Structure 1
Amino acid sequence: MSDLIRSLRLFVRLNEEGSFSALGRRQNLSHTTIARAIGDLEQHFGVRLFQRTTRSQALTADGERLLEHAGAILDQMGLAEADLAGAVAARGLVRVGVTTALGFHYAQRLGSVAAQHPDLMIELLIADWRDAADHGGLDLWLWAGDGRSAAGSTLLGQLPRVLVAAPEYLAHHGMPASGDDLIQHQCLTYGYAARAAPWPIDGRELEVSGFLRANSSEAVLRAMKGGLGIGLLPRIQVEEDLARGLVMQVMPDAEIPPIPVMLATGFRGMRMPMRARVVMDFLEAGFPV
């Protein structure tokens, strides 16, 4: 049975890596060893698992079915190992959708997860999602809430926002002191709707405009640092630049509501695999405070 479990693990990892050579490099295994494991599985189940050519490989229909079963079997084995050994084991790929600012924040902190779970692989898909429906193929995803919750989602936390600009921009255009001053400036915005969302400043919804609008906060950040205008960005995205004096906070006493960040999972109504549970715990514990 142990050989069968090992072969199933190699089968799952082979599908994730995409080729014998990639899996061999990552696992330090020979092509022959991997091929023997796949051959043993095909003989055991009496099916062909991969369609292989000299340039590519793809799962057969039977391979797709076994992949689903293999994932469940390995998850159950992990649970049994954790229960009996008193340790948490996580294996396999977890695909996580994150906003730009949080994606960079979490990426810097993945070392502890990698050290504790060497058989775990995390794929970060980074974009400034605002639509809870944007989650195709993801195991976990974060999105900026707007008062509406996707079914099964939970509030992960709140991200404070600040107004920031490059010193050279402020030296040339002056420092705004109020919302009325602010709307006279170049305000760099990001979003997806047909019109830019107003900026909520001191209880007002300010209709701002500027030279640049983007669907990425990172693009706004770089344009702002280049002296193009004022940005309204998550504090975690600019706190290092603020500390180094590369950017300056604008209207520091202004009241700006934080961004609610929601956490959703693709396992609603199903038992969450251990690999996803470990990553979800990491996202919750590592949320900036």
Structure 2
Amino acid sequence: MTDLTGKVAVVTGATGGMGRIIAADLARAGAHVLTVARDPARADALRALIGEQAASRLEVITGDLSRRADVVTAAKSISDRHDRIHILVNNAGAHYSEHGVSADGVERHIALDYLAAYGLTTLLDEPLRRGRARVVNVASDTLNDTRQLKLAGRPRPATLDLTGVDELADLNPAKGFVPFEAYARAKLMTVTAGYALARGLAADGVTVNALHPGIVATDIIDDLVPTVLRPMRGLIRRGMLTPAEGAESAIRIATDPALAGVTGRYFCRDTESSTPPVSHDPATQRKLLALSQNHFTG
């Protein structure tokens, strides 16, 4: 990996799964790494993974990224301590098997899988611009196909219809709630907003890209496996990528000199790929950004 001495990196979801590998590798490469954690004690395991020599380069901020107030507070703490950010990996995410809302009344997938990434990216605007940062949004290719069993038929992309939507709390309602589709819609929102933010940040050298890291054996997978296949969950996990293998693509996009200046793209692992047409629709992008901004300022 490129020497990252003197660089500042923010990695969310860094106390478990793929995120802890990303954070540890960036710290070992010399970066000062910040993460936001609900339970700071979980960072002890991350420090152990990083190793004694690099552990001092880990900075933990307490916060729950599903809560608007905590996202705002975390962003302020980061920007107060660091005037430049060089890498932002928005990796925090979860899959919820039942409908629920955040403390702010927003469906939980949208709160954590989308708004945490949007909020940090926009609230850290100035230090990201000063650092000519690379922003990497960890998405999921469920946005291209929401079928859990893909044995036959055509892909069924996630949908994002904002017609008549006045606030983000209107999305993923309890009526007709399908967990897998709700998760995929939140990831689609992350990619859609990312395309628009990439254009606005490009003039200052900031890049914004998203990726599907592959099917990685993390805790989220346990919830995503269809009920009929759960007795085979152990066998299924053995056929998946390890968290370290999944982290490779995110680290590459965040650090590879060959990707300098590449922005507004979506990758499936290391291959540039496409996303549903609605993600490129200017009107949808504009309304999504307006709704998201209102969530943090309204």
Sort the TM-score into its range (normalised by shorter chain): under 0.3
Which structure: greater helix fraction? 2
Normalised by the length of structure 1, the TM-score is: 0.28
Normalised by the length of structure 2, the TM-score is: 0.27
Task: Find the structure with the greater CA-based Rg.
Answer: 1
Which structure: greater strand fraction? 1
